Amino acid sequence: MIEVHCHCGHFFSAPDSLAGGIANCPSCGKAVEVPGLRDPFWRVLVAGAVVLWVGVTAAVGVAAGPAAAVLTGLILAGVLWLISRAL
Ligand SMILES: [Zn+2]
């Protein structure tokens, strides 16, 4: 469930399936945007994770060679994938 804050001051929970969509506030009945995976914050987070991934992989490549960089890149990609699945 996702916590939604309506403009009328009422807090309510919306099902995860409505993430990034619209839910009706049970208090005032108006449509409220549900924060979710498709909101701008999420896109910034994904972009930051990709930049971090490329940066760390490149740094390992310089410090420990291309083979270590490929290994680190694969491990980080797996970790980021697991995190994205958990969210
Ligand atoms: Zn409301």
Q: Based on the structure, what is the number of domains in the chain?
A: 2
Distance between Cα 57 and ligand 1 center (Å) = 46
pLDDT at 17: 87
| Residue count of the chain | 87
Whether 57 and 80 map to the same domain: the answer is yes
Question: For residue 26, what pLDDT band results from cuts at 50, 70 and 90?
Answer: very high
Write out pLDDT tens, residues 43-80.
788 889 899 999 999 999 999 999 999 999 999 999 98
Whether 26 and 57 map to the same domain: the answer is no
Question: For residue 84, what pLDDT band results from cuts at 50, 70 and 90?
Answer: confident
Distance between Cα 41 and ligand 1 center (Å) = 23
Tell me which residue range forms the domain holding 22. 2-33
Whether 52 and 18 map to the same domain: the answer is no
CA dist 5 and 38 (Å) reads 17
Exposed, middle or buried, 9 (CB in 10 Å: 0-12/13-18/19+)?
exposed
Whether 57 and 81 map to the same domain: the answer is yes
Distance between Cα 28 and ligand 1 center (Å) = 4
Whether 78 and 47 map to the same domain: the answer is yes
pLDDT at 60: 94
Tell me the whole-structure pTM to 2 decimals: 0.50
Whether 29 and 56 map to the same domain: the answer is no
Whether 6 and 26 map to the same domain: the answer is yes
